[in-house]
Amino acid sequence: MKRYLAWFSAGLLAVTLTACGSAGSGDGDRSNASGSFPLTVENCGVDVTLDEPPSRVLIVNSAPLQYLSTLGVLDRLTSRAGKFPPEYYSKETLDALNKVPSLTDRLGSDGHLKISTEAIIAEEPDLMLGLPDGVSRESLSAVGVSVLDEPSFCPDGIKDPGYETIYEQMRLYGRVFDRQDKAEQAVRDLQKRIETVQADLPDQKGRKVAVLWPYRGEGTVGAYGGQSMATPQLETLGAQNVFAATDKRVFEVSMEELLGRDPDTIILLHTDGTQQEIRQALLDIPGAKDLRAVKNDALHVQLFNFTEPPTPLVLDGLERLATYFKGE
């Protein structure tokens, strides 16, 4: 059975960058002129070569949008597909996004984007961010469309994701869009945000937390384990992921096992639906009302990208969770 993002297993992905050829000329207000093109980057174990900084970008995943906003390259977007929850972004970012034509926001019952290869090729992008189900890198590469996907969404996933994953991905996009200086400043800003959160934390020692994905209408839940960004995010807050010892990113878990872990707090992730609908999806599972977190009304509903995958939005989620923990 298909699960939203559940079939991505944890594995090793080394993100390496190599540049070759002569220095490429920039356009607009390039923040640095040191980038060299053609540029080759490794993504999901595949070498991706860009002859010049992309100027016609199709984005099919909400996760990388914040990287582009931070680097000031939203003007490179010429089309988009999928859902982009407004809660993720600033007004400035939303205003820029809303100017970009949407091809479709149709999702399947599994939460995956439904779009054809032909629809993508018709837009003539030079770069696509994300890789929808049923679309192959090879078919797009054959017509000159490069693909970059978030490391966590690669078939082999990534091993031990953390904030360094975010920093390296920011630097990768800085290379790709010839914005290295802005990328380095963005990394420093992200590091300061983590320090600020940690300096103002209440004592969370001993708090046990489960981060779950309720499969609405199916009576089951997925749990985020040691190979998900949920684990380092909770560790930063001084809390413990009750599934941290499970060497997987996300996996289906029984109510019996969840009751055995009996977390103090449950974080429910989602991409669509109201908070009440997401809460109810958990409560409808037999035995859920016996959970300590349910009895104490310690359920916190959070949009998916505030925890997964590793992007700057995880820092927004970190700040939101810190506020939630302090307010309990």
Per-residue pLDDT reduced to its tens digit, 207-247: 999 999 998 888 899 999 999 999 999 999 999 999 999 99
pTM for the full model?
0.85
- pLDDT (tens digit per residue) in 237-264: 999 999 999 999 999 999 999 999 999 9
Instruction: Yes or no: say if 39 and 112 are a contact pair by the CB < 8 Å rule.
Output: no
> Where in the chain does DSSP place strands (E)?
17-19, 39-43, 46-50, 57-59, 77-80, 127-129, 146-148, 208-215, 220-224, 240-241, 250-253, 265-270, 299-303
- pLDDT (tens digit per residue) in 53-76: 999 999 999 999 999 999 999 999
Instruction: Yes or no: say if 242 and 274 are a contact pair by the CB < 8 Å rule.
Output: no
- The candidate with the shortest Cα–Cα distance to 51, out of 113, 109, 127, 116, is 127
- Please, which pLDDT band fits residue 280 given cuts at 50, 70 and 90? very high
- Please, which pLDDT band fits residue 28 given cuts at 50, 70 and 90? very low
What's residue 328's pLDDT?
A: 65
- pLDDT (tens digit per residue) in 264-276: 999 999 988 899 9
Residue 297's identity, in one-letter code, is D
Q: Is 47 exposed, middle or buried (0-12, 13-18, 19+ CB in 10 A)?
A: exposed
Domains of the chain, earliest start first: 17-194 (3.40.50.1980), 202-327 (3.40.50.1980)
Residue 72's identity, in one-letter code, is G
Mean pLDDT estimate for the chain: 87
Q: 17 pLDDT exceeds 50?
A: no
What's residue 12's pLDDT?
A: 28
